[in-house]
Amino acid sequence: MSADVIIKNARLNEKNELYSLFIKDGKFIDIQSLKQKKEEGFKKQNLENKSALSNKTIIDAAGQLILPALIETHIHLDKACIFSRCQLKEGTLEEAITQTAKAKASFTYDDVYQRGKKVIEKAIKQGTSFMRTHVEIDPVIGLISFNAIKQLKIDYAWAMTVELCVFPQEGLHNNPGTFELLEQTLQQGADLLGGCPYTDSEPQRQIETLFKLASKYDVDLDFHLDFDLNPNNMSLPYIIEMTEKFNYQHRVTVGHVTKLSAIEPEKLYIIAKKMASAGVQLTALPSTDLFLTGRDHQYNIPRGVAPLMSLAKAGVCCSISSNNIENPFTPYGDASQIRQANLYANVAQLATQSELSKCMHWISTDSAKLMSLSNYGIRVGMDADVNFFNAQNESEVIATVLAPTMGLKRGKITFERKEVELFFPD
Ligand SMILES: [Zn+2]
């Protein structure tokens, strides 16, 4: 089988060895090291023979590091870029929910579409090619945001694989009509179901209801959970219990879970082991967690991000994500997952090469496991979704917050970043 795209002189790991990646119909069909080629009598000239390659695209990586595409496991496209419409006084989670609810009342289809489009385009340029977006569903917004994001999913499929996770941000049992709307979205193409028990009048009942609904439609679950720094009254043990009861191992993710940063290592280890054994996965959202938690401290302010390294060592599948871009939950954002991973490394004091590599995996390979992506990775048979970096290894990319120079989705170039030019005086 002959390739239609060839990436040559690609660095794939720490070693100085270079590779050629052969792509056909958007998938890797062969990966060869230059050394291997010589052993097999492969002549480099063949690769560059113009007549033989007239109908192929040849991309010379010139020794750049090629890594699998980046993944946002948790983002909110529907409420992105609304910060200028809100007025923050306290900077608390409660205020963020109230202010967003106020702004949401005037959302229109076109408004949601345009703001979502802005974030998706930013994310593509930052090397992100997969995205699980949460979408708020309630009687005020109805299906407006859902329909706009659904259209974005179709319009940007060339560069971004989008998963829609519908959820009741303002509660389920205290918000009549929400359940029926959630069920409607599951019938109309929602990919999975999210939860937010801490805003519900009956948190445990919300969890149970959502497990039943997810199970009925055979979709995965993703909860906003335990989002404060009080070590008591955690919902996580109940999520673990329900995951086992519904036989939902590796189909349940919990986001934030900042309470885990407030418990002793011995207790953390016990709960982490239970999460690993039940297959409950976790996403840390450092930008939001840092902005909203610890507001009751005047000084010596806690960091308040979930301790991913301890969880990962206990066998929990983890990821890092942006969550919000320019809204009352997170007034900042450039949709760069490299920046989020760097932020997490900084806050969690991770610095060795293996620790920084792990931070890269939390926005790529581990995130792919969390989302059960079956065609992900630089291996024969997988989709050719990759980024190019001017770096020696993964840890350098995270340490120096390096942006990718180019990205491919299913073997097609989706963006290219030119080097910034310096103009020295004559
Ligand atoms: Zn969220």
Please tell me the predicted confidence (pLDDT) of residue 53: 56
**Are 5-67+387-416 and 70-370 the same fold in CATH?**
no
For domain 5-67+387-416, give the fold: Urease, subunit C; domain 1 (2.30.40)
Cα 79 to averaged position of ligand 1 atoms, centre (Å): 10
CA–centroid distance, residue 136 to ligand 1 (Å): 10
- pLDDT value at position 58? 96
For position 248, what pLDDT does the model report? Answer: 98
**Ligand 1 geometric centre to CA of 76 (Å):** 6
CA of 68 to the centre of ligand 1 (A): 24
Parallel, antiparallel, or unpaired for β 18-24 and 27-33? antiparallel
Enumerate residues with CB within 5 Å of ligand 1 (an ion).
323
| CA of 256 relative to ligand 1 center, distance in Å | 8
User: What is residue 214's predicted lDDT score, i.e. its pLDDT?
Assistant: 98
Domain layout of the chain by residue ranges: 5-67+387-416, 70-370
How far, in Å, is the centroid of ligand 1 from the Cα of 90?
19
CATH value of 70-370 in 3.20.20.140, 3.30.70.3270, 3.10.150.10, 3.40.50.620: 3.20.20.140
CA of 335 to the centre of ligand 1 (A): 14
Confidence at residue 422, expressed as pLDDT on a 0 to 100 scale: 97
Distance CA 408, CA 416 (A): 9
Q: How far apart are CA 47 and CA 40, in angstroms?
A: 14
Q: Please tell me the pTM assigned to this model.
A: 0.95
Q: What is the pLDDT along the chain (426 residues), one digit of tens a residue?
A: 689 999 999 999 877 899 999 999 999 999 999 876 666 654 444 444 444 456 789 999 999 999 999 999 999 999 999 999 999 999 899 999 999 999 999 999 999 999 999 999 999 999 999 999 999 999 999 999 999 999 999 999 999 999 999 999 999 999 999 999 999 999 999 999 999 999 999 999 999 999 999 999 999 999 999 999 999 999 999 999 999 999 999 999 999 999 999 999 999 999 999 999 999 999 999 999 999 999 999 999 999 999 999 999 999 999 999 999 999 999 999 999 999 999 999 999 999 999 999 999 999 999 999 999 999 999 999 999 999 999 999 999 999 999 999 999 999 999 999 999 999 998
CA 190 to ligand 1 center in whole angstroms: 17
Predicted local confidence at residue 48, as pLDDT: 47
Q: How far apart are CA 224 and CA 256, in angstroms?
A: 6
Distance in Å, CA 74 to ligand 1 centroid = 6
Please give the distance, rounded to the nearest whole angstrom, from the Cα atom of residue 112 to the centre of ligand 1. Answer: 17
C-alpha of residue 290 to centroid of ligand 1, in Å: 14
For 156-205, the pLDDT digits (tens) are: 999 999 999 999 999 999 999 999 999 999 999 999 999 999 999 999 99
Judge contact between 131 and 123, C-beta under 8 A. Answer: yes
Q: What is the pLDDT of residues 269-306, one digit of tens each?
A: 999 999 999 999 999 999 999 999 999 999 999 999 99
Give the distance (Å) from ligand 1 centre to CA of residue 324.
7
